[in-house]
Structure formats: structure tokens, C-alpha cells
Amino acid sequence: MDFTDEQIQRYSRHILLQDVGVEGQEKISQAKVLIIGAGGLGAPVALYLAAAGIGTIGIIDGDVVDLSNLQRQIIHFTEDVDKPKVFSAREKINRLNPDVKVVTYQTLFTAENALDIIKNYDFIVDGTDNFPVKFLINDACVFAGKPFSHGGILRFEGQTFTHVPGTACYRCFFYAPPPANAVPTCSQAGVLGAIAGMLGTIQAAEVLKYFTGVGELLTNRLLTFNAKTMEFRTIKGKKNHKCPVCGDHPTVKELVDYEQATCDIQSRKNHTNS
């Protein structure tokens, strides 16, 4: 593809990078990325990928912007409260970079629509806030042979890894959703807003590395950090032969929507908004 003078200028700091160059920027500009959840993680991912000139960004989220989201979901502004998150996100992406084609899905990501949606994308970003959807994203991506970035944040901590076919998946590390009685209650949870940015920008960097082929992806490694001490560590992992979805004897053979209990009225509708 031929870049215009304006595009060369816009992406000049990428093009100047020896590892990226015009060729790398072309790959970025042809890439199709799906971001699941336009919340705390999805917001920085969407903004940085838009700025980078990713060709097509799909965003799926069934929720509307809530005042309590603005503490960390930096793609949404005060005047967006009550607006569907996907439309709020699309507006900002369009203003940041008109080169980017944005596809919105104002719905929940479910076992029914998962494979149909992800088949249109080259890379999937998990920006969701709950375990049922995280396991669904994992299983759908493993079934479809799609790479994805996992992201999780809690209080002052974050974790992420990248999956490409053949490497460790979410179930290799975490097997199955945690027991129902172990999940923190709403009052125990909470998150320092900037943690979402720290983790989301790592995910965005992984996406750009994936398309440009630069460096080593965060595969077979789980990166965790604690902002209280600012200690980062990567825990080595590997494809688990006991893994229920990608192991030697898989027991998960179709997608399931794990049921989610609600602990308040908001939680059911706020399904994908980390």
C-alpha cells in the first residue's frame, strides 16, 4: 500500500524505528484487531492501536458509559455518560485517527456469537472484567486458531500474557473458572485507575509486536506486576498437557457461557467493562 505524505508524517516515529519501518507500518495498517470490552483495558488498547494506525478495530461491548467508569476508562468522557460504550469509543478513535476503520458490536460476547465475530479478525484483545467471558475468549480463540492477549487487573496488580496457536493458553495457566465462593465480593474489589493503563498499554504493545514481528511476544510467560512495589515479574509457563481445551485429552469441546451470579443490579449489564 502507498502511504500519503500525511500518513508518512503521522506514522514517522514508527517508520523511523529500524525494526518497524515502512514495511512494519504497512502491516499495522492492514491489521484487523478485535477488542472485547471498551472499559479499563479496552480504552488504552483502543487509543494506542488507533494512534498506531491499525487498519480495522472491532469493539464489542453491550454496556453504556457510567460515571464510575471514568476513573479509569479513559476513552470515555464526562459528556458520554449513558452513551453506549462502543459509540463513545468509535467517536474518539475517529477523531484521533480517521485512517482507522471502526466496527462496533453493541452486544455481549457470548458462546453463540463468539466464533462468528472473531473469524473476521487477526488478533483478539481480552479487555473484559469477568471470568466467564475470559474463559469464553480463550476457548473461542483456541478453537479458531486466533492469537489473543489476556489481561487482568485487580486492586494494585495486573497480569497479562499473549497466546498464539501452539503456546500456553489461559486454561494452561488457570484451568477452569475459580470456585464460586472464592471470587471477591464487590466490596473487596476495586482498582487503581492507572493500573488499567499500565496493563492495557502492555497489551497494545504486544499487538503491535505481533503484526510487525518485532521482538519476543509474551508467550509461555505470565507477566504480573504490583504497583505498590512496582515490581514486575514474568512467570514461565508452557502448554499444559492436562489443559482441558488444548491439552492431550481435551474435555472442553464446545463453547459455553458460564453462568454469572449477580451481586448487584449493575453487574449483569456491566458484563464486559473491566
Q: How far is the CB of 38 from other proteins (least distance, A)?
A: 12
Of the pair 30, 267, the CB lying nearest other proteins is at 267
Which of residues 23 and 82 has its CB atom nearest to other proteins in the complex? 82
Radius of gyration of the chain (CA): 18
Interface map 36-65 toward other proteins (x if CB under 8 A): -x-xxx------------------------
Applying CB under 8 A, the span of 46-54, 74-82, 99-107, 122-130 interacting with other proteins comes to 122-130
Tell me the pairing of strands 123-126 and 221-226: unpaired
* Span interacting with other proteins, options 13-21, 27-35, 110-118, 167-175, rule CB under 8 A: 167-175
177 is a site residue for other proteins (CB under 8 A): yes
Closest of 36, 218, 201, 212 to residue 118, by C-alpha: 36
128 binds other proteins (CB under 8 A): yes
Instruction: CB nearer to other proteins: give 25 or 128.
Output: 128
Residue from the set 9, 12, 120, 266 that interacts with other proteins by CB under 8 A: 266
Residue type, 190: G
Residue 97 binding other proteins, by CB under 8 A: no
Q: Cα separation of 87 and 64, whole Å?
A: 9
Long-range contacts of 187-194 (CB under 8 A, 24+ apart): 189/154, 189/155, 190/155, 191/40, 191/72, 191/153, 191/154, 191/155, 191/156, 192/155, 192/156, 192/227, 193/40, 193/71, 193/72, 194/72, 194/227
Q: How far is the CB of 259 from other proteins (least distance, A)?
A: 4
Binding of other proteins by 213 (CB under 8 A): no
Segment contacting other proteins (CB under 8 A): 52-60, 140-148, 178-186, 209-217?
178-186
**Per-residue x/- marks for other proteins, 219-258, CB under 8 A?**
---x-x--------x-xxxx-x-xx--------------x
Residue 35, Cβ density class (10 Å: 0-12 exposed, 13-18 middle, ≥19 buried): buried
Please give the grid coordinates belonging to residue 75: 476513552
Residue 203 touches other proteins, criterion: CB under 8 A: no
Phi-psi bin for 128: left (phi > 0), alpha (psi -120 to 50), beta? beta
**In terms of CB distance, is 24 or 40 closer to other proteins?**
40
CB 241, min distance to other proteins, A = 9
In the shown chain, the binding pattern of residues 132 to 151 toward other proteins, with x for contact by CB under 8 A and - for none, equals x-x-----------------
Q: What is the rounded distance in angstroms from the CA atom of residue 47 to the CA atom of residue 256?
A: 31
